[in-house]
Amino acid sequence: MSVEAETSARRLVYSTAVYGALTIALVVVDWEGDGNEWHLVEVIAGYVVTMWLTHTYASLVSLGEYRSWFDVAREEFSVAAAGLPALAVALLGQFLHWDQNETADLALVACAVTLVGIQAAIVRHLGFSRSRLLLTLVVDAIWAAVIITLHILI
């Protein structure tokens, strides 16, 4: 694989991971308890699996060449992996009998920590610069404001 192709592939992994973390955060924000104790777990797990399968399918049909489903699914796993910390928090909350709303808040924190981890990996890979760090912080602040506002309003 050429350096250019490897860079493009890595960029795709990072972008789908960022997308996955932000999307799961929005799913948690939109979640409302309905009396079903497992509802938050079900919603997060369902969305993680759905994102992974749809990304895998879209990648598979857009390749223009034959690739095994397993190989493509492995390449697209970053979109699902980004939601696993929130899912783990939701499961932990269920097993430890935490309040559902507090569990949802902690799942949002897990999404934020996941996003920061992904971005740290991106900065480490691309190289540190003040402008990249400043841009990342500004965009993160905007997204945090949007997500917190939605969480309060919904």
**pTM to 2 decimals?**
0.85
- Domains held by the chain: number: 1
Q: Give DSSP secondary structure letters for 98-143.
A: --HHHHHHHHHHHHHHHHHHHHHHHHHHH---HHHHHHHHHHHHHH
35 pLDDT exceeds 80?
A: no
Q: Which domain holds residue 25?
A: 3-153
Q: How far is CA 33 from CA 43, 56, 99, 109, 151, in A?
A: 11, 30, 10, 18, 13
Residue where the block lists tokens 């890595």: 10
Banded model confidence at residue 119, pLDDT cuts 50, 70, 90:
confident
Confidence of residue 50 (pLDDT cuts 50, 70, 90): very high
